[in-house]
Structure 1
Amino acid sequence: MLHLRVVSPADRTEDVVALLREHRGATHLVLFRGAALDPAGDVVEADVAREAADEVLSRLCELGVDRDGGVTLEQIDTALSDAADLAEERAPGEGADAVVWEELVARTGEESRLNATFLAFLTIACLLAAVGVVTDSPVTIVGAMVVGPEFGPLAALAVGLVRRRWDLVRRAALALAVGFPVAVLVTAAGTWVGGLTGLFDASVIAGDGHQVDFVYEVGPWSLVVAVLAGAAGMLSMTSAKSAALVGVFISVTTVPAAGYIGVAAVLGDWGRVLGSAGQLAVNLVGIVVAAAAVLLLRHGPGRHVRRPLPRG
């Protein structure tokens, strides 16, 4: 179940109440007259079955309460109520299969912002990957995979393409287009400093037989893994089963490939630079295509198209 709160202009409150009262997936309806101060209006609350939330949100947006008031959703972990059980039974479909589009757009939009936090996590992840490369440590590579924040913008790209939310596509593309070059440059600088201080030299990546060579060895299986990871990641996001995202993070080699680019470039191994760049490109494209395909196969492009995301 999801908890819905609507700040409604007084002249639309009766329509909001009628909508929630009549919808078979809504229950626990509460009305507070004149409770909202900014924006002014009434507050209407209800609990909504997840599989009914997308339809309810679309109809609320048709009433314009998202523009002149406000709509918020919160996850309910536990609901002890026969009325809630009945609402979930009456709502069409299964909650785990439901895509709440506005929730998905808001979540991916937030995770795709180009800000200091995103850049810091991506840079740290690439630096960890670089340490894993020069020490030939798969464990450190896996740690870099988990730290990397790149799945947020990749998911946002998929959602934006399916929903035709070009503002979301631009935001996610900017985060990736700026974030990876910055992280690679910082990693290259760290590699140069490490070589200058004698921590390692070019011999650390020379030859074959290293445990981390899979990072730059791009091939058909790279695409297969990226597609499966992208599909699993989007299924996790749309079904609110976030635990599966950890498996996604440690399946793809986006961050390790970016980290290897920085190391190999400084040490002059341009073959491995190209191989790592290919690995990075295959993973990015495979994840986005698979995630978009999952959205299309599950529920199509959705009902309601909201106005552009706020700047920031």
Structure 2
Amino acid sequence: MMQKNKWLQRALFASALMVAGQATAAVVTSIRPLGFIASAIADGVTPTEVLLPDGASPHDFALRPSDIQRLRDAELVVWVGPDLEAFLTKSLTPVAANKQLSVAELASVQPLLMKGDDDDDHDHGHDAHESEHGHHHGEYNMHLWLSPAVAKVTAIAIHDRLLELMPQKKDKLDANLRQFEDQLAQTDKNLAKMLTPVRDRGYFVFHDAYGYFEKHFGLSPLGHFTVNPEIQPGAQRLHQIRTQLVEQKAVCVFAEPQFRPAVINAVAAGTKVRSGTLDPLGTGIALGKDSYGNFLTALSNQYVSCLK
């Protein structure tokens, strides 16, 4: 009898663990901006969690055992792809194919991809040190979440995948997608208006992350300090930037919250150029229905406050 009770307790404990595991199942995104899109689509359906803590960079993150467990328990894992988040490739091997979504590998995203720095930036020259490490990003610019067009396609893909996994939630998922698309269209209009007055102002960014956003809104970047933020720019690149700053071609130089290299201050010292900060990861913006629009708006404000 005691033996039977023990067995029963163990069985109850195991099923409680399973229920607890199911309760914590969520959409897990690699980075916060993908969390903004996912949380809008999954709102009221399943929670959304972000793997990378604020302040961490997807370029050099290392997973903890608890992170690997979260990936395995996830309802769906959404990431950019191996060119940006190489640290995820191995850990996603045991995760079922229908429970992971790589944005860069979506057929509908492929035509929207922009070439990486080595292909479209000939006029700024290259340090040997940089080109040698340029492959870190692969052939394409992987900062896809900064493109409203890619965000829309990503939202549709997350909706479709969650619909496969939870067909009983169809009405809610459909309504969430419609709301996301409407809000995105409205935000897009508002930001185009807001950014128009600063479109022709030249500036430098710290790393090659903003191409999709800049192209979409017609901004005028003069270049960037580095392709891969883990690698300090070489002397030749710094000299070129310094020359353009002295000739007053740039109004502003932007750092990032994740990377505040002294090199930016040093290059801008003694010139009239202003310093700003661009946050490509939306640090501190809470996940929710409006968070992707809030993120694009915050980024636009960061541009305008320095360029105006």
TM-score (norm 1): 0.23
Q: Work out which of the two has the higher radius of gyration on C-alpha atoms and give 1 or 2.
A: 1
Larger proportion of helix: 1
